[in-house]
Amino acid sequence: MGLLDLFTAALMPVLKVLLITALGSFLATDRLGVLGVDARKHLNNVVFFIFNPALVGSNLATYITLKSMETLWFMPFNILITFIVGSILGWLLIRSTRAPHDLRGLVLGCCSAGNLGNMPLIIIPAVCKERGSPFGDVDVCYKHGLAYASLSMAIGAVYMWSYVYNIMRIYSSNNCEGAKLDDLTKVANSPGETTENLSKCSAGPLLPLKNHSPNEDHTNHFELDCTVSEEKVKRSVVEKIKHGLQMVKKFHFRRLFAPSTAGAIVGFIIGAIPQFRKALIDDNAPLRVVQDSVSLLGEAAIPTVTLVVGANLLKGLKGSEVQLPVVLGIIVVR
């Protein structure tokens, strides 16, 4: 097998993704306006509630069996390690680049999730059918490759909504409070009082200037009580513990059952139970039309998501407000 064949087999899937992404950016331009803000919002809802669950469920039901689950038992642990390592690297990136407070939760989520997602379902079929594919027979490549990709996508969806979503929510909440405390300390330490700063000061009584006799006429000179108490800036350890417990109580367990997670559960059940598999998956299955319809919906997920990604990238191509070191850091981590 020549080096050129290997390069071609690796290049074709990437080109497909880039072409669809470029089309999404073109459709989002002001000249066309097909994928405007409202259109992307509606498409995201359709993908989230219909296409993604159908994609996850249909692929798991088709390619995952009890035997394949026994073979791929290690994947949940490997993916969990990926998310933990990504979180650590994301935290280091936030510390090193001093990312803005309102973006820290998003940066942490992007780094935690890594490269898990729908892309393997684009790349693997394209690689399998290329003449220079290193994975042997096309049918064998499809069978094992799509089983691996489907299981990783399903497990990734569960971790995404159980781990990444709540980490982003809690971290963003904490950083918003930290940003407010930073604003208070800036007001307290500012050398002069402006009208904006005075509006943030405590409404205490006016205090006479020091080192002046009360008999002297200094009615125009007063000091404002514009100090922020240490108790407000630095919370005690007990308060931090209470705050942490409150965050745990606010853990959104219902997000565990997001549409993609529900699709994964259904796909696992159908693929693992032989009776359901015979009724829905086999060539002579009496209810195969149901599986075919769900698969048809699932196939629309990947091109739709890729188009939306291209449309969302258009604003960044024009000039993003995110710092360049943050963007480069996320790329390196992922």
pTM for this one?
Answer: 0.70
Condensed to tens digits (0 to 9), the pLDDT of residues 272-288 reads: 888 998 999 877 889 98
Residue 52 or residue 190, greater confidence: 52
Using CA atoms, how far residue 49 sits from 56, 171, 253, 263, 320, in Å, is 12, 26, 18, 10, 29
Burial (Cβ within 10 Å: 0-12, 13-18, ≥19) of residue 15? exposed
For 103: left if phi > 0, alpha if psi spans -120 to 50, otherwise beta; the answer is alpha
CA distance 141 to 148: 10
**Given this model, what pLDDT does residue 38 score?**
92
Amino acid identity at 7: F
Backbone angles phi and psi of 236, in degrees to 5: -70, 165
pLDDT higher than threshold 90 for residue 24: yes
Please report where in the chains the tokens 């219902």 appear, as a residue: 254
pLDDT higher than threshold 50 for residue 7: yes
Residues above pLDDT 70, as percent of the chain: 72
Query: b/e for 50-72, b at 16 or more Cβ within 10 A?
Result: bbbbbbbbbbbbbbbbeebbeeb
Condensed to tens digits (0 to 9), the pLDDT of residues 182-225 reads: 544 444 444 444 444 434 444 444 444 444 444 444 444 444 44
Q: Which helix (H) or strand (E) holds 223?
A: strand 222-223
